[in-house]
Amino acid sequence: MTSSSIRSVDEAVPITEVRVGRSDDIEMRQRRYILTMTIRTTCFGLMFFVPGLWKFVAIAGAAVLPAIAVVLANNRDNRSQPVVRAQEPAPTLAISPGQVIKGEVDETDR
């Protein structure tokens, strides 16, 4: 852990910046996968009981759902780590005023 990623103890973390715990994230992905594969299994079963066009819809669902299940299962929480905010505002840098030389503009042709 670098010193720039350490938060002070008193600083609160906004809840929208907090990641889901690793075990909770894995559990949610497993549930999505199981649900999608259950729907796929249902599509396989429906192929034997539905007539006509619905049979092709069930076949298409059974063929496409494994890819969708894998994509959903591999989708993890990609939120970045919370940004560390500085305790004091950084001083603004400015160019100091220079010496003013008074004079006139001579616009005569040379």
Question: Domain for residue 56, yes or no?
Answer: yes
Question: Domain for residue 58, yes or no?
Answer: yes
Report mean pLDDT in 10-residue bins for the chain, 110 residues. 51 66 85 91 92 91 90 74 61 76 79
- Model pTM? 0.53
Q: What is the pLDDT of residue 1?
A: 46
Side-chain-facing half-sphere of 79: CA atoms under 13 Å: 13
Q: What is the pLDDT of residue 21?
A: 78
Question: Domain for residue 87, yes or no?
Answer: no
- Cβ contacts of 82 within 8 Å, gap of 6 or more: 7, 13, 14, 17, 18
Q: What is the pLDDT of residue 16?
A: 66
Question: Domain for residue 105, yes or no?
Answer: no
Q: What is the pLDDT of residue 75?
A: 79
Q: What is the pLDDT of residue 3?
A: 46
Q: Tell me the C-alpha distance between 73 and 36, whole Å.
A: 10
> How many domains are there within the chain?
1
The domain in which residue 52 lies consists of 37-76
Question: Domain for residue 9, yes or no?
Answer: no
